[in-house]
Amino acid sequence: MPRKLKTAELMIEQEFWNEGYHNLMGCDEAGRGPWAGPIVVGVVCLPHDRPDLIQVLEGVRDSKKMTKRMRTRLVDRIKEIAVTWGVGSASSEEIDEYKINPATKLAMIRALEMAELEPDYLMMDAFPWHITPVVQPSYMKLDFPYRSIKGGDSLSLTIAAASVIAKVTRDEYMAQMDEKYPDYGFRDHKGYGTAKHQAALKLHGPCEIHRTYYAPVREIIIQRTQQIALSTHEDAKD
């Protein structure tokens, strides 16, 4: 008998469904920490009246704990099973302009717009919506109740499904950016601050999708500017 795969649970969802919140939506993000690329948010609404959800979505859990093969295999199934789903992003330029928390909110609003179904309740994975600054208060206001759940992508199948959509979408984008900017290795590290990425940044400087307000990137820009200025000064002396 094949071993059952670890799968996020539906206990939190069941509590909401029992209270009548049938358009219950979960959301999660991918890409808060990288030095390059967008922040991507996925949103998912699973059917409340399908008793076999755990079985048909077996293996769906926190996307960071799944293998790439598992995520790729299950993302289409999530989209097929879902009542609705959406994905939204905020670019590195928007992250530089608004900073990461407001940019995450912007990506979340875009994901909800794509889903074309206003939830009657929204579950977030540990995102403090109420205490972070907003970009455009009237636009960013949520007109429905929500809850931030610590470890939500491990506890809730709906949030876990959203995390898979966000992760797969962002990874595919970074693979495309690897073709456009082959000097940085984006396909491998997805923009995170690995030793390989840091070495490429020092050698080539940032490209268009780097987040220049992130301290490590900003420091490398300063170092390169100083080196160029020193080199120019030495050439002038000669």
**How confident is the model over 40-96, as pLDDT tens digits?**
999 999 999 999 999 999 999 999 999 999 999 999 999 999 999 999 999 999 999
For position 226, which CATH number holds? 3.30.420.10
Q: What pLDDT, on the 0 to 100 scale, is given for residue 219? A: 92
1 is a domain residue: no
The CA-based angle 92-96-102, given to 5 degrees, is: 95
Residue 24's SS3 state is: strand
> Does the residue 4 lie in any domain?
no
Instruction: Tell me whether residue 6 is in a domain.
Output: no
* Number of domains observed in the structure of the chain: 1
Q: Is residue 133 assigned to a domain?
A: yes
> pLDDT value at position 132?
56
- What pLDDT was estimated at residue 116? 86
Residue 111 within a domain: yes
In a domain, 167, yes or no: yes
- Please report the pLDDT score of residue 233 as a whole number: 47
pLDDT at 186: 98
Burial classification of residue 185, based on how many CB atoms lie within 10 Å of its CB (0-12 exposed, 13-18 middle, 19 or more buried) = middle
3 domain-assigned: no
Q: How far apart are CA 220 and CA 6, in angstroms?
A: 41
Residue 5 domain-assigned (yes or no): no
Can you list the residues of the chain whose pLDDT is less than 50?
137, 233
For residue 30, what are the domain limits? Answer: 11-234
In the prediction, which pLDDT does 126 show?
83
